[in-house]
Amino acid sequence: MKNVSIIIPAQNEEETLGLVLEDLNKVIDEMPNYRFEVICVDDHSTDGTANIARSYGAKVVENLRKPGKGTALRTGFEASQYETLVMLDADYSHRAEELPRMLNALTDGVGLVIGSRVVGGSEEYTHVRALGNVFLSATLGVCTRRYLSDALNGFKVFRREVFTGFKYTSNAFEIEIEIIANALRGGFRVVEVSSSERARAGGEMKSSVVKHGTRFLLRIFWEGLRGVKPVNLEEKKPSIKLRKIPVAETRSRK
């Protein structure tokens, strides 16, 4: 039995989170060889996000850090218990039915699987976002020698030690870059599989091209400066102490 923790960062996503969890529960029911926990990290939402998550059987964890996709995901990773971590968005842009293929790609030696919208297409791509993604992914390639087509997609599957083996500092969307850099430092391969992105199905988009584009670029330069030469995780003491995070309600599936 493979154990998988699915972490969904959500801020005021009551319009779409139910769609995400409905699809996810259907896909989970068709994967008998896996045990799943679904964790929704509610971040100071002022709408019904947390109640909707609970109504679909997800664990709800409060982000006690300052608001941000990065802090929310870190809080979710810390609250999770299984050896494989999955992150996907709460705006119904990611397709739950792609999860089996993403998990199958996490083979020996692979530490991180990224869903590529460049390969799979996106209904949400404006020219600016597409260009920005290609430019940032290429810059990451120059800085880390690992060329990816879509480094920024929030649909990722990775091994727990890619998180527990390192101290994370990202607060916002740039955590996408930090995860890739640490997977490489963990001596793992990073692979991409085709992933087709739907347009956000409701609610407000939280990312801004200029603000988060700049944060992505700075994080890429910082990780490039630090270098991504593999470190031996065995020797490395886990840099984070998993702290008991208050879980509002728990019911793991299966």
Using CA atoms, how far residue 178 sits from 56, 156, 224, in Å, is 30, 12, 10
Q: Which of residues 205-224 bind ligand GTP (CB under 6 A)?
A: 205-207
Kindly state whether residue 115 participates in binding ligand GTP, applying the rule CB under 6 A: no
Number of H helices, E strands in the chain: 9, 7
Which DSSP string corresponds to 11-52?
A: SS-TTTHHHHHHHHHHHHHT-TTEEEEEEEEE-S-SSSHHHH
State which of residues 48, 67, 141, 238 lies at the interface with ligand GTP (CB under 6 A).
Answer: 67
Tokens of 93: 């842009």
Q: How far is the CB of 175 from ligand GTP (least distance, A)?
A: 10
| Angstrom distance (rounded) from CA 242 to CA 234 | 17
Which residue lies nearer to ligand GTP by CB, 91 or 223? Answer: 91
Which residues, listed in sequence order, are joined to residue 190 by a DSSP beta bridge?
A: 112
Q: Answer with the entry of ligand GTP, Mg ion, none that 106 interacts with (C-beta below 5 to 8 A by kind).
A: none
Nearer to ligand GTP, 111 or 132 (CB): 132
| Least distance to ligand GTP, CB of residue 251, Å | 21
User: Closest distance between Mg ion and the C-beta of residue 130, in Å?
Assistant: 14
The span from the CA of 232 to the CA of 163, in Å, is 14
Q: Show the site string, 160-199: x = touches ligand GTP by CB under 6 A, - = not.
A: ----------------------------------------
List contacts with ligand GTP (CB under 6 A).
Answer: 9-11, 13, 41, 43, 63, 67-69, 72, 89-91, 93, 154, 200, 205-207
